[in-house]
Amino acid sequence: MYQARYLLYIGNFKISETIIVQWIIMLALIAVALFMTRGLKKNPDTKRQLLLEWFVGGIKGYTTEMMGTKFVSRVPSIVPYVGTIFLFFILSNLAGLFGFKSPTTDLDTTVAWASITIATMYVMGVKFKGPSYFKEFIEPTPVMLPLNIVGEIARPISLSFRPFGNILGGTIIMGLVYQLNAFLSSLIPNLKIPIGQIAFPVPLHLYFDIFAGSLQAFIFMTLTLVFIGNAAETE
Amino acid sequence: MELSTAIAVAGTAIGSGLAVMTGIGAGIGQGYAAGRAAEAVANQPEAKSDIISTMILGQAVAESSAIYGLVIAIILIFVNPWIKM
């Protein structure tokens, strides 16, 4: 029922709705990036550049605050990665407002993002600590090895199911509310327009789409930083 | 509908209801976090923004247990693996 539909058929190759909405989001992000970075000056005088510097400075400051200056100076590409995934996530969660099917309601999307984070975590752990990073699995005793492995498996599952469940639950509740409003409007005689759908769902959209979506994006960013920082911290 | 399918549907419905009851624990945990945050704001009103952002983050992580139950219930109702409709 809530499975993504296949929209494009290229021979035997099927492309689902999730991928198409993601392409639209990516194109929008690229267009906005190209528009915002035209004609940058050393002393900003346009509102555009001030907004851009505020956003980039905010992401960079938050990353530095979470990870420490040592990590950011050694792996400077963490700041663009975190900013990109935050923007992509928040636009995916807000896609429901524009009438698209949000890509976050598909488990594949969130599993992909969580996989990127977990792979980055292992790579950074090995890069900063060497092979002794995997020695943490047999601490304090080798008896704990199965429990530690279960904990490692549970981490991407929890990271991917949290936004998926939150956004999917909101989408389902919104669909039920719209159906209820259409039914209530149909009780009024001689009225063909479902008039109850006009203004009543707006507060619910405020909570389910904007507040929950922004919160999930922020939490995903924070947890990514926390996991990578824990893997890479050296005493 | 055969009797076996009817029993399976009934069990699925009961299981979905039980799965959503994970919200009890999540609600208690979030309320506890909010109460502690209120105490912290009363002690240090100047640190209000930090306290609130930390509280929201912790509450959202605590809410994930309820979301797992919701996901299980949604799976049981919409994409049930045992009932071939």
Contacts of A167 in chain B (CB under 8 A): none
* SS3 state at A73: helix
CB of B49 within 8 Å of a chain A CB? The answer is no
Element (H, E) at A9: strand A6-10
Structure confidence at residue B85 (pLDDT):
58
Chain A: give the shortest CA distance to residue B45, in Å: 22
> Per-residue pLDDT averaged across A14-22, rounded?
86
Contacts of A172 in chain B (CB under 8 A): 74
> Per-residue pLDDT averaged across A127-141, rounded?
80
Contacts of A3 in chain B (CB under 8 A): 79
Does A74 score more than 80 pLDDT?
A: yes
pLDDT tens figures, B14-44: 999 999 999 999 999 999 999 999 999 999 9
- Residue of B56, B67, B74 lying closest to A215 (CB–CB): B56
d(CA B40, CA A62): 23
Does A41 score more than 90 pLDDT?
A: no
Structure confidence at residue A200 (pLDDT):
82
Reported pTM: 0.84
